[in-house]
Structure 1
């Protein structure tokens, strides 16, 4: 909501606080979800390299713990950052990975659809 209001800096402060609280609680899965959300805010702020770094760490951590839904979410968001960086091959791989994981976990059609649309957009830009 804050992003839509043009208050990305405030959104980043809140995302950092949410991540701090999640880490304090000791729930690693909740902490990872908060880190993904913070990386989304970084993307909205145009801080693409820090967002990419955070999301790559999130993908690896989720994969290591076999948290398929969080891995899919991190892949989808990392794909958006790759797209913003005009790294279409990497974006396509991330979106396809997200679709695979969401299908595997029985995710809703809405989750699948967002990545499927993203695949179409990337293919159109990349001429694939």
Structure 2
């Protein structure tokens, strides 16, 4: 397994990941033969970040089907969130929002804080891309609370805190957000199970 970081930071205009394409492609080649749910989920994230959206959607569908067979509802929600991320990148914002609304509701209902934070973070990103900055900020702030509740890894908290700073800057509520290089300080290696 390569130790090269894949996520280098976040674009302050879109909040999308800035990646090392070579490292992402190498990691994808490394895990492509595997069909476990974990491998499929990582493939979805990598393909999405590489802009290979049709492939990402097909793998997201396969991951969702596989998650349904495991019987773990948490796995099914995580797969739905990743599928919605791909739909967001495809420009299917209404579909992505509908999916993420359902994921947020289910995760909150069951007190699955990490999943709720994951869904809220990505619903906020859809709102952000739609120019709905107030809604995005509310989702990011709630995502941070949910993620802190479960003690998620620092790189996931950093991406949420960065999204909050950028959204507040857009609303004129605080000093300018840090540079993309500063935003990369929390980026981890590879793609986490619940990627930021």
TM-score band by shorter chain is over 0.9
Whole-Å Cα distance in 2 between the matches of residues 102 and 6 of structure 1? 27
**1:86 and 2:104 matched:** no
Structure 2: gaps of 5 or more residues: 1-45, 174-196
Once the two structures are TM-superposed, the CA of residue 64 in structure 1 deviates from its matched residue by 0.9
Larger Rg: 2
Residue of structure 2 equivalent to 1:123: 168
2:52 pairs with 1:52: no
1:89 CA displacement: 0.8
CA RMSD of aligned residues (A): 1.1
Runs in 1 of length 4+ with deviation above 6 angstroms? Answer: none
Match of 1:43 in 2: 88
Cα offset, 1:3, TM superposition: 2.6
Structure ranking higher in helix proportion: 1
- For normalisation by structure 2, the TM-score amounts to 0.63
- The two structures have a TM-score, normalised by structure 1, of 0.95
CA–CA distance in structure 2, aligned partners of residues 69 and 95 of structure 1: 13
Q: Secondary structure at the match of 1:61?
A: helix
Please show how residues 4-43 of structure 1 align to structure 2 within 5 Å. Answer: 4-43=49-88
The aligned length equals: 128
Q: Deviations over 1:69-96 (max 9, x none)?
A: 0000000010000000111111000000
Greater RCO, 1 or 2 (C-alpha within 8 Å, sep 6+): 2
User: How far is 1:62 from its partner?
Assistant: 0.3
Decide which of 129, 134, 140 is 1:95's aligned counterpart: 140
Structure 1: which 5+ residue stretches go unaligned? none
